[in-house]
Copies of this chain bind each other. A is one copy, B any other.
């Protein structure tokens, strides 16, 4: 099994090299299983296992009856930091907020400095969508994630958009803990961020994001109070 495992691993590595060399990005189609098998001179079983391995690492996406594609968020798992394995979810929620407080104000500042009118409008529409869902009592996780993801996209830093799955995980953890309690504050601070981005005001966007996150962090701290001291 070990030798076979290694051949699968090597085959997977060669497929990854192929993706990088050809500059393929999310949604691009790879050669078929049969073509890969011929090109890489390995068996169908090995090809299939390599493709599966890359699927489980979110590098490839197999659409049956259609083909093999490069995944969205290539190479980033749903839970890139393995936070699922941390058991104390309340402390995790607070510690994630500390992480977000370090990175997201800067992301918002950069987005405000770079976004053109059209991009600012897209951000505004995402904030509106969060609001619409809140008001109608529907789950807003996805829309909230999309709002923060858009800022990462607009930041111009190559790494920041790759942090989005971590931030999404943090938002989900936060919403699971606090429910819908923060509705009004979330909408207000989202709007303040949008206004700053529209105005090209980096400092204003940074401050608005900081306020948004500090408020949310304090909500988590209130939840945790009584269980253990807040200041570690």
Interfacial residues of chain A within 58-82, with CB under 8 A of chain B in the complex: 58-59, 64, 73-77, 79-82
Contact residues in B for A159 (Cβ distance below 8 Å): 81, 83, 92, 95-96, 98-99
Cα A42 to Cα B21 with chains together (Å): 39
Known: A56-B53, A76-B81, A81-B163. A64 touches B2 (CB 8 A): yes
Q: How near does chain B come to A146, taking the closest CB pair, in angstroms?
A: 19
Interfacial residues of chain A within 19-67, with CB under 8 A of chain B in the complex: 19-20, 23, 25, 49, 52-53, 56-59, 64
Cα A160 to Cα B94 with chains together (Å): 12
CB pair A99–B157 under 8 Å, yes or no, is yes
A residues engaging B (CB < 8 A)?
1-2, 5, 12, 16, 19-20, 23, 25, 49, 52-53, 56-59, 64, 73-77, 79-88, 91-92, 95-96, 98-99, 102-103, 106, 156-160, 162-163, 232
Q: Which 5 A-B pairs have the closest CB atoms?
A: A75-B82, A80-B80, A81-B162, A53-B56, A95-B158
